[in-house]
Chain A
Amino acid sequence: MVAAGSFIAGMLGALTGLGGGVVIVPLLTLAFGVDIRYAIGASLVSVIATSSGAAAAYLREGYSNMRVGMFLEVATTVGALSGAFIAAYISTSAIAVIFGLVLLYSAYSAARPGKDPALGLPADRVATFLKLDGSFPAQSADGSRKAAAEDGSAAEREPYHVRNVPAGFGLMYVAGVLSGLLGIGSGAVKVLAMDQAMKIPFKVSTTTSNFMIGVTAAASAGIYLRRGYIDPALALPVMIGVLAGALVGARILPGAKVKTLRVVFAVVIAALGAQMIFQGFKGKL
């Protein structure tokens, strides 16, 4: 049962690009009555599994930006540590309410399709100093990838500049705190930081964020493991289910009606979010 639910969560996560974590915790707590601390532990494990599992496929395409990822990971890992520490001092009801709010925000962000920020912005001083600017495989007007050059060198690449580094760094700290506190990947906040604030192209931010999620989750997973939040018998079906779901999701992604799915997903997580907040205030979680 838990494995089947996790399978659907993993599939939805892969199809919508939001990761399965936001569904796992409400699923376990609301539907199966699991204590939210066990749920967070199991969710963290699934977050790492999907991140590392998907990275191999993403990396080969050459979209992700290692420097942006590594630089921002300073913020997310420190944030994750803070989040994991805070989690020990606040009530599970408060965690449930915060989780609900994050779900509502994720729903909003999933319903609104990502738009590529304008290219050709001027270079930013901080970004230049940190060597954050990069390029990604260019796409022709019909959306298909331009063919690699005949001499066998890499395909044509489109350069981009990274903007507002301090704002992005700050938002990433927040994403890390939420990740450590709630056991999720905080994909929605990461997209906010990279797309909206730093003006990184959509494909680059999605793949780089996927890369960072695993490292961020690993930072808090270590602490949760020692606190005894990670139960092997519970993490087992969740991890296997999410992994299988993510694999199937990635396989059927090309033919899927992503727009419809995003709307459905948004409605589902908004409902889960409202439920989490309600139960949190009632003190049931």
Chain B
Amino acid sequence: MAERTKTTDLGIEIFLGHLLRTGVVIAAILVFTGGVWFLAQAGGARKDYKVFRGEPAELNHAAQIFYGAIRWQPLAVIQFGLLVLIATPVARVVFSMLGFGIERDWMYVGITALVLAVLLYSLIDPAAR
């Protein structure tokens, strides 16, 4: 029993490894594409980072970032890539939960669900400011 659990663990881990790498590659491509575009468009125009102003609302919320990205606004494309990047560990947790489910390890399905709940709360909670 214990040994079978371990081999399944390893199978899931390898799958998760690929998943994470794919997520990072997609994110890097998006960020890079948006970046080249942004530099081509904005040229040398540089923002002053010495003073913190906070980003405009259209770059802070998932739905608005996505909206900007499909309309090919360079900064929104970069931000969308970053969003994909933030989502890769979340996807990893989701698939780990499925993996524990396949092993019928309900205690760990529960623990993973708890982690997922915390992550989703941080990503979605409207009052988190």
Contact = CB atoms under 8 A, between A and B. Distances in A.
Contact of A52 (B23, B32, B121, B122): B23
Q: Give the interface SS of chain A, mostly helix, strand, loop or mixed.
A: helix
Interface residues of B, number: 64
B21 A52 contact: yes
Interface in A201-244: 214-215, 217-223, 225-237, 239-240, 243
* Range of interface residues on A (Cβ < 8 Å): 35 or more
Given A53-B24, A230-B55, A233-B75, A81 B122 contact: yes
A109 interface: no
Nearest to A226: B60
Contacts of B119: 77, 215, 218-219, 222
Nearest to B32: A240
Interface stretch (A43-51, A181-189, A190-198, A251-259): A43-51
A71 B13 contact: no
Contacts of A51: 89
A240 B13 CA distance: 26
A32 B119 CA distance: 32
Given A215-B115, A236-B35, A221 B86 contact: yes
Complex A-B, nearest 9 residue pairs according to Cβ-Cβ distance, in ascending order:
A228-B54, A232-B78, A59-B17, A222-B123, A228-B55, A56-B17, A35-B52, A214-B89, A56-B21
13 contacts: A35-B52, A38-B52, A51-B89, A60-B13, A66-B9, A84-B122, A130-B107, A131-B108, A134-B6, A215-B89, A218-B89, A232-B78, A236-B35
Given A38-B52, A74-B114, A218-B89, 19 more contacts: A33-B50, A49-B27, A49-B85, A66-B13, A66-B96, A70-B96, A70-B115, A78-B118, A81-B118, A218-B122, A219-B122, A225-B86, A227-B54, A231-B55, A232-B75, A232-B76, A233-B78, A235-B82, A236-B38
